[in-house]
């Protein structure tokens, strides 16, 4: 025997499909939305208990498509730097002082803040996959993307996947995240894509985030180039292509990927995107403003068929939540 519907009335409802509905109602039965529309229409066909929210607006739960909850505790700790490379150095220094317990607490605080903003699904890039089993149970759907870098030592995506898969329970799902072309080799990208295909996993990465990344790959110079060369990274892939061109040439990008940033694209890059496989784009507005990037090419990317979402990225670049 099914339970009676619950009807929630509000000043308006945003359905993400057409214009907002004024004087709206949503009928829910057994945890499933069964009707959305004008109050009088929904009420006429769905008897049941009514909750009137007054002047509030009903809308679907928000999806944060890109965040780093590990770093919620570092909120506001790094002032806007002179360069992206300077920021990388500073955040590495800040991280060196943190313990496992700090990251676990940071993620828990991120959960609370995300939920308070109306976020019901989070794609979190987790730098410490071994800690996931010690994290509190998320109060929303959480996709844990294991962040992987092989700039200093080799990484096996299959082992990372098995490590996370063994963790239970996970409310949501898991994925893989080669960090960025300047910290993850093309071999790691290909290996991650192969593991994701075997296990039907989503993937995410950072790409074309900064001017210095563009300088590094296209021109073979710049602060990021010099920094990474100083820590032993092979620079044989530099001075030949744009960051986007590098991954397109590698043949790894497709509809499984959420690509964060794409702040630095050339006119030739946009031409390449016309015939490239489609993938999803996550724009991070706070990070974008913090680093003073040029205006994000949202309309141009949408015209090319990319689906776009928003993410609020690592909290060291903001004075507000990382969620």
Per-domain residue ranges of the chain: 6-58, 62-317
Q: How far apart are CA 206 and CA 88, in angstroms?
A: 14
What does the pLDDT read at residue 261? 95
Write down the pLDDT at residue 168: 60
Which of helix, strand or coil describes residue 85?
A: helix
The domain defined by 62-317 folds into TIM Barrel (3.20.20)
DSSP codes joined into one string, 224-290: HHHHHHHTT---TT-SSS-HHHHHHHHT--STTEEEEE-----HHHHHHHHHSPP-EEEE-HHHHHH
Residue 178 to residue 158: CA distance in whole angstroms: 13
Kindly report the pTM of this predicted structure: 0.88
Q: In this structure, what token pair is assigned to residue 104?
A: 């676990």
The DSSP output letter for 319 is S
Please tell me the predicted confidence (pLDDT) of residue 323: 29
Q: Measured between alpha carbons, how far is 267 from 44 in angstroms, rounded to an integer? A: 55
DSSP for residue 69: G
Q: Averaged in consecutive runs of 10 residues, what is the pLDDT profile of the chain (323 residues)?
A: 83 92 96 94 93 95 94 88 93 93 96 92 94 90 96 96 82 93 98 97 97 98 98 97 98 96 96 94 90 90 78 40 30
Q: What fold, for 6-58? A: Urease, subunit C; domain 1 (2.30.40)
φ/ψ (deg, to 5) at 36 = -140, 130
Distance CA 125, CA 273 (A): 25
């Amino acid at each position: 025997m099914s339970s009676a519907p619950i009807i929630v009335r509000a000043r308006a409802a945003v359905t993400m499909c057409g214009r907002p509905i004024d004087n709206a109602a949503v009928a829910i039965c057994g945890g499933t939305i069964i009707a959305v529309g004008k109050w009088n229409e929904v009420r006429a066909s769905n008897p049941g208990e009514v909750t009137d929210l007054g002047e509030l607006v009903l809308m679907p739960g928000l999806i944060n498509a890109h965040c780093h909850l590990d770093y919620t505790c570092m909120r506001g700790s790094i002032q806007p730097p002179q360069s992206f490379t300077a920021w990388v150095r500073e955040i590495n220094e800040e991280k060196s002082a943190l313990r496992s317990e700090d990251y676990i607490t940071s993620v828990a605080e991120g959960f609370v803040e995300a939920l308070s903003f109306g976020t019901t699904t989070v794609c979190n890039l987790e730098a410490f996959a071994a800690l996931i089993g010690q994290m509190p149970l998320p109060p929303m759907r959480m996709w844990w993307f294991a962040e992987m870098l092989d700039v200093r030592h080799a990484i096996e995506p299959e082992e990372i996947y098995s490590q996370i898969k063994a963790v239970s329970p996970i409310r949501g799902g898991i994925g893989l995240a080669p960090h960025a072309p300047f910290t993850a080799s093309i071999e790691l990208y290909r290996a991650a894509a192969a593991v994701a295909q075997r296990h039907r996993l989503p993937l995410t990465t950072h790409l074309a985030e900064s001017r210095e990344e563009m300088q590094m790959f296209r021109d073979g110079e710049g602060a990021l180039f010099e920094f990474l060369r100083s820590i032993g990274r092979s620079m044989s892939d530099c001075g030949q292509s744009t960051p986007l061109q590098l991954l397109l040439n590698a043949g790894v990008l497709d509809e499984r990927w959420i690509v964060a940033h794409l702040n630095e694209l050339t006119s030739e890059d946009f031409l390449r995107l016309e015939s490239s496989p489609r993938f999803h784009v996550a724009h991070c507005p706070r990070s974008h403003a913090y680093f003073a990037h040029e205006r994000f090419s949202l309309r141009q990317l949408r015209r090319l068929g990319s689906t776009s979402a928003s993410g609020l990225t690592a909290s060291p670049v903001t004075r507000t939540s990382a969620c």
